[in-house]
Amino acid sequence: MAGEATVSLLRVKGPVEAIAGTVTVPGDKSISHRALILGALARGRTPVSGLLTAEDCINTARALVQMGVEIDNLGQSSVVIDGVGLRGLRSPTGVLDLGNSGTGMRLLMGVVAGQDFAATLTGDESLRQRPMDRIAQPLGQMGIKVAGQGEQCLPPVTVWGGNPRPITYQTPMASAQVKSAVLLAGLNAPGTTTVIEPARSRDHTERMLAALGAQVSVDGLQVSVEGNPDLSGREMVVPGDFSSAAFLLVAALLIPGSEVTVGGILLNSTRTGLLEILGRMGAKLEVSNRRQATGEPVGDITARASQLSATQVGGEVIPRMLDEVPILALAATQAEGQTVIRDAEELRVKESDRLAATAQVLSALGATIQQQPDGLVIDGPTRLQGAEVDSFGDHRIAMMAVVAGLIAEGQSVVTNTQCISTSFPEFADLLRDLGARVDEK
């Protein structure tokens, strides 16, 4: 929860006995960022419930407050945003610090592009190593000046807002962050702004813009928004984060005798590629109670202990499961045969080099895993052995390592786990609720 002390070390003694129960996970991180930002750009009040209260989203909210937006109950899961309109933000008092949030920084760069001021955005040591040239390039084509550090435009990065012009931009990679930044800048451009992607990426920005009154059109891999829409505030409900649920679901698949249900999870097809891959591997997964929440499909997912078989993963499914590659790699260590993951080079510029970090952590635990330039090759099944491993300051690597410790023989220690609070502060508590012993220090 927001305000809790962060945990720097998690200790697991495995293999644990069966885990079981029904839980809910925090709100979806991607949707939480967008609800805050679009609620700020709409006219009127936007009540948001189910908001993720982790550090990344709080940093986005604080940046909006610095630019003149009032947010009641900041830091809580239910907030009310008093929107200021498309060009109603104010010049911030100081640098905008987004902490570890690449989503917050990239989307806000698009927002600032359409304002009447300049703003400098920075972050923690990890975020300052993540390239922002992928945002600076299309914004430059829109006539907006952007300056960062070095050839890759690393943070701190300054955006000089103004009057962006509409463009048609073909992205070199499938990236919802790039697409969203361009569309957000296009809100203050006269005419039609279009983004064309090589593969489908998550579509929460398009859905939310349309719900608030923007004219959005989607044609295959092409998304367009008309400039100067009249966005009106409305109530929003944030569903549970599929990426967070994935750690609990895979734990249930890998621990004999387990059965875990995670309720109220986002089922947007641009996010659930992992479900398809695990199903192909023989996972016992069941989706029930399907429903809608603020235009997004939602349901409950039950996972039961399963015997898995290896598979090949690549192509269009990768953008729909990019954040889940580390936990998929762990599942592959327990699958019969050789699993190959390719087309995932984007993972090298996340909070860590996630391909390298995943390979190093699982190798330390005894897995047979090799890096490729764009992916991983994993042989299984392999009996893992407890070890001390580092998270590389990456929340998804930290949580993957803890789940690995649940099935490994002997004690595992995962260090540098305070990063988990950026997306899933309740992670260790929920594992304990399900019956796993995870000790904190």
What span, in angstroms and rounded, lies between the C-alpha atoms of 264 and 259? Answer: 17
- 235's tokens: 């109530």
Nearest to 325 by CA among 301, 349, 355, 299: 355
Residue 433, SS3 per DSSP: helix
- 56's tokens: 């990344």
Annotated active-site residue 323? The verdict is: yes
What span, in angstroms and rounded, lies between the C-alpha atoms of 341 and 347? Answer: 12
C-alpha pair distances (Å), 105 with each of 3, 6, 102, 157, 266: 22, 23, 5, 9, 23
What span, in angstroms and rounded, lies between the C-alpha atoms of 428 and 248? Answer: 10
The residues, ordered by sequence, that sit 6+ positions from 328 with a Cβ below 8 Å of its Cβ are 250, 274, 277, 278, 313, 321, 341
What span, in angstroms and rounded, lies between the C-alpha atoms of 209 and 225? Answer: 9
- 163's tokens: 């009057």
Strands across the sheet with 145-149, in order?
Answer: 96-97, 118-122, 154-160, 145-149
Residue 55, SS3 per DSSP: helix
CB 9 within 8 A of CB 415: yes
Query: Which one from 28, 323, 353, 394 is the annotated catalytic residue?
Result: 323
What span, in angstroms and rounded, lies between the C-alpha atoms of 259 and 22? Answer: 9
C-alpha pair distances (Å), 428 with each of 22, 56, 357, 417, 441: 15, 18, 21, 10, 12
**With the CA atoms of 52, 55, 58 and 63 taken in that order, what torsion angle do they form, in degrees rounded to the nearest 10?**
-140
At residue 78, what are phi and psi to the nearest 5 degrees? -120, 120
The residues, ordered by sequence, that sit 6+ positions from 220 with a Cβ below 8 Å of its Cβ are none
Identity at 325, one-letter amino acid code: V
Catalytic residues: 323
